[in-house]
Amino acid sequence: MYALQISARVPRLASSSLRRSRAVSSLSPLIDIINRNAASLEKAEQTNSTQLPILSQPFHPSSEAFRKDPEAAESAAQIVAAALQLAATLSPPMEAIYQIAAGPFKGAALRICMEANIAEILREAGPQGMHVQEIGQKTGQDPRKLARFLRYLATNHIFEEVGPDVFRNNRLSGVLDTGKESAALAYNPDSKYEGTTGITAFVNHHLDEVAKASVHAWENLSDPARAVSEEQRESSLANYLGKDVSIWEWFEDPEQASRRKRFDIAMKGAAAMESAEAIRAGYDWGSLPKGSTVVDVGGGIGFATAAVCDKFPELNYVVQDLAGAIQNAGNFWAERNPDAITNKTVALESHSCFEPQPSRPVSVFFIKHVLHGTSDKYGKKVLDHLRFAASKDTKLVVAEYIVPYACRLPSAAEEGEVPGSRSTEAPAPLLANYGSSLVYSADMAMFFASNAQERTFRDMQRLLLSAGWKVVKVNRQKGGHMTLQFYEAIPV
């Protein structure tokens, strides 16, 4: 019925030949991109002796080794972009829109399977898989319902149905496996994320509180008082909770202890996976005179500082964060590099970035993954304090993701364009941003949970300038849109 209604409203093309020519012109370049890059990947597989991923096999980190070759990584990105664009082109529009509308259903099914430890159960079952009747016995869930959730996910290539009502892990569902015994997790659910990479904790954080907040986004925005609010206590999450609290205040509630624990593990895992080499390459640390002071603002336990300190021990470092983080930082440094604390190369300082900075000479203020957790109003407040404490020679280094535009920018550089400000664009006719939605999903998550945002280059440039900082360059790191990029700014 929908297809008939839609086709009735679409104007007829002038001729069948015109229809054919337009179809060929839109499809052939995309197919060519897939064929050309598939050949390139297969060649790289032989040259580098790295096996390409196999969807039916459980995930193993070694299956990502092929991406260490930049050309292979680029080929994979172009194939994915072209495949997504082909799907958008050839899918019936109503069906494509409904798939978006049904997105929360996928998230709900995924969370059910994660909470029921199904990836762990299927890993224990082995490659032959397990019937839903047995899965139901192990989880205490209705096998008929489990079959529906698993089949829905398998249709989206998460898990694999190898026989009627028999499922096993594959490459995507394998990412959800913590490696722990399912019986132990059933006995002690709170232990699920301990000692893991944090990936599963990160996913379930989004499937739980962030997903629930997202459902209330329109209710929040349709309130005139909240539509333009930049307050964390007036976020979509606050609307869902029915009280004006920030996510951090909510996490402090003893009833939310397990959620807070999960979030902390997710964030530590994300920080641990960041490349130390990328942080060292994000600024010319070697240009600083011996004894220069680097202040890591909102630095958590000091992962970034440790990365720089390892290579540049002649500098002095201050790791700033709230008291709880600094207490944990003491344990981290006692194990990681105790000498840096005892010889006062590194100082741990309890401090809120929303308060004025202590008075001292600072060569570099380094601030990573802090501004994305703020609206412009509060981001400016942080930056104002740094600007007030800066001398004319102080540099500001901001490490954040850069959200690319979905359109193409003019090919010619604009007058006064900041070096490194442009994102790499995919070749036409692909979307300039490769159709990769991950960084935009991160932006939505920040908005729903905290009224905060990831930023385009121009967003960040405006924010910094509003607080008296001028961006002079962006030290671009290779990788996708979820790769940290480093803004370098000076006082104005």
What region, left, alpha or beta, does residue 268 occupy, with left being phi > 0 and alpha being psi -120 to 50 degrees? alpha
Q: Domain locations in the chain? A: 2-99, 102-191, 199-271, 276-406+418-491
Question: According to the model, what pLDDT value does residue 19 have?
Answer: 54
More confident residue, 409 or 2: 409
How many other C-beta atoms can be found within 10 angstroms of the C-beta atom of residue 360? Answer: 9
Q: How is domain 102-191 classified at the CATH fold level?
A: Arc Repressor Mutant, subunit A (1.10.10)
The SS3 of residue 318 is strand
Question: According to the model, what pLDDT value does residue 413 have?
Answer: 72
Average pLDDT of the residues in 152-180: 98
Question: According to the model, what pLDDT value does residue 25 have?
Answer: 66
Question: According to the model, what pLDDT value does residue 13 have?
Answer: 40
Beta-sheet strand order (sheet of 485-491): 346-350, 316-321, 293-297, 364-368, 395-400, 485-491, 469-475
What do you get for the CA distance between the two ends of the chain, in Å? 62
pLDDT band of 22, cuts 50, 70, 90: low
Are 66 and 60 within 8 A, CB to CB? no
- Per residue in 214-257, pLDDT (tens digit) is 999 999 999 999 999 999 999 999 999 999 999 999 999 999 99
pLDDT band of 24, cuts 50, 70, 90: low
- Alpha carbon 171 to its chain's center: 19
Question: According to the model, what pLDDT value does residue 274 have?
Answer: 83
Question: According to the model, what pLDDT value does residue 453 have?
Answer: 98
| Domain at 276-406+418-491: CATH code | 3.40.50.150
**pLDDT tops 50 at residue 12:** no
pLDDT band of 323, cuts 50, 70, 90: very high
**pLDDT tops 60 at residue 457:** yes
Are 269 and 198 within 8 A, CB to CB? yes
- Per residue in 257-282, pLDDT (tens digit) is 999 999 999 988 888 778 899 999 99
**Catalytic residue positions, numbered:** 372
pLDDT band of 7, cuts 50, 70, 90: very low
Average pLDDT of the residues in 368-393: 98
**pLDDT tops 50 at residue 78:** yes
DSSP structure string for 32-79: HHHHHHHHHHHHHHHHHT-PPP-TTSPP-GGGGGGGGSHHHHHHHHHH
Give percent above pLDDT 70 in the chain: 95
User: Whole-model pTM?
Assistant: 0.91
Mean pLDDT across the chain, nearest whole number? Answer: 93
More confident residue, 435 or 480: 435
Residues 6+ apart with CB under 8 A from 406: 431, 432, 433
- Per residue in 80-89, pLDDT (tens digit) is 999 999 999 9
